[in-house]
Amino acid sequence: MKPMMKTFPAVLGFISSRDARLDLGHRFISHRHMSDIRCTDEDDNNIFAYHETNVSRRSLLHSAGTSLAGVVSAGPLAKLLVGSQHVVDVNTASAMGLVQFPCQPDYLANTYHMMRAGESRLEAEGILSTNPLFLTNQDDSLSDLGKIQVEASCNEMLVLGINPSVVKYSLASKCIETANIVASTLMVGRNRIVPEFTFMDQRSVGLWDGKSLNSTEAAVWAMDADEAGDEGRGGKPPPNEDGTPNETLFEQVTRLRQLMSILETQYSGDDILLIFPDGTSPALLSCLISGIPLKEVHALNFLPGELRVGVNMKNTRQLLKERVSSPEYLATLARGRDELRTLRRELDEYLLAKEGSKTLLIPGPVSRGAAESQTNRRRSSLEVGETRFSPDILATGALLAIGSLAMLRVDKDGDENRRTSDIKPVPSTAELDPPLTIPFTTDTTETVAIPVSDSADGIVDPNVFQDIPVLSKEDRVKAAELAMEEYLSQDDGGDAWLSSMLEIRDET
């Protein structure tokens, strides 16, 4: 298959010059026919010298050059002319698409410098903030120390002679300020300061967001070192209810792969400075480029304002050898494991308290012996003649007492002789034993007894009642409609306001 692929360009070159050769042969034959009529025998060898022909020396050279280029541009002659080391193998795709990690030397088309933004105000207060919704808050802007750290990194780039042609920064407040300081110090044009809205966001830690930066960050380091694995799929923080994501390292890998694929497609041969909001993101990208297991990512963690130039596989692996066994890193992991146990214990207690408030008290199973003892106690109580109260009897007595009080009425004139009310409340038949017999009547108008005023001063006497008919459903609907029309017809001052505005307009 490979020899056929090598000869295929030669065939294409031969075919591409086919039209030119046919045109040349056609002109030769047509002119030869004309020479038989107009030329002598001695001029047969100079057939192109006659003015009647359409062939010129320019068209001849063009045709010959096309034929020669088609043959030379491919096949064995190409290797002889330009050398085998510069010939592109047609079996290898040279287009850059989705970046594949790790990146071998000379794989990336650009040179990448990585930098962490300077210390923010929240970091100065010792607060861990990872919710992407709050990255643009002014509380996350650079502190005074953070500005000094960024200026020191800019001076370092000036000393090293590094002038990035593209500055790509996260949309966090501290990254925006860091990019502005870099642009003003290194004289980078504003058209080369490019924001990144999503792919450079830091990893979110879910329920641990907003906790102490020192202790929580150490716990995350220990969790990743022990549980993340080589691909970073383990070690997931607990979820939160306020919308803060809880991500693993592998979820952040997806964003960084998209970032690098866009940069490699959009730029070529540029010095690109990447400004990240945290120290784990640039360390994670360095591990991906170098093929380092992601569980060791925090050994390469960036400090606030730290700059690393020309990040590649060689210098990253060399830095890992120096840091992975350092006493500071090992002490941080040991402290982080203790903090991780504390955080998880607090989480368990929180979940138990949360679930306990929602748990219903359900009686547990009763053993056979306990059930028999309860039955024997009931039987003994019946034998000694203990009084047993039925809930139905108590409910019926209460209803009868309330009904008897409601039936007492006093005349409107204040007569002391009480009489029985004509309207008697009907107890529920489901609660009376035996049920009451309710006479059927065709009168659909119901009445209710309400207290009325018994004196001229309007004081309501609770002992004086008046029968008011209860409206039917249709009457209630009509009454509601009339009340709504009366409410809408009230003057709310709108007409007066409108007339005043018209007067002002007329005066002007």
Closest CA to 134 of 172, 177, 105: 172
pLDDT tens per residue across span 130-162: 999 999 999 999 999 999 999 999 999 999 999
pLDDT tens per residue across span 416-468: 444 444 445 555 544 445 544 444 444 444 555 555 555 555 555 555 555 56
Q: Identify the bridge partners of residue 212 per DSSP, sorted by sequence position.
A: 127
Q: Identify the bridge partners of residue 360 per DSSP, sorted by sequence position.
A: none
Structure tokens at 460: 């309501």
Q: Which residues contact 319 (CB under 8 A, 6 or more apart)?
A: 300
Query: Strand 271-276 vs strand 166-170: parallel, antiparallel, or unpaired?
Result: parallel
Whether the full predicted model's pTM is greater than 0.75, yes or no, is: no
- DSSP assigned state of 361: -
Q: How far separated are the first and last CA of the chain, in Å rounded?
A: 91
Distance between CA atoms of residues 302 and 111, nearest Å: 19
Q: Is the distance from CB of 60 to CB of 45 less than 8 angstroms?
A: no
Closest CA to 69 of 28, 103, 20: 20
Give the total residue count for the chain.
508
CATH for the stretch 111-348: 3.40.50.1240
Q: Is the distance from CB of 222 to CB of 337 less than 8 angstroms?
A: yes
Query: How sure is the predictor about 250, in pLDDT bands with cuts at 50, 70 and 90?
Result: very high
Query: What is the mean predicted confidence (pLDDT) over 336-364?
Result: 79
Q: Identify the bridge partners of residue 307 per DSSP, sorted by sequence position.
A: 115
Unique residue bearing structure tokens 């380092």: 292
Residue 51 confidence (pLDDT): 42
pLDDT tens per residue across span 457-495: 555 555 555 556 667 788 888 888 888 888 777 766 677
Residue 254 confidence (pLDDT): 95
Q: Is the distance from CB of 412 to CB of 454 less than 8 angstroms?
A: yes
Residue 502: in which H helix or E strand, if any? helix 494-507
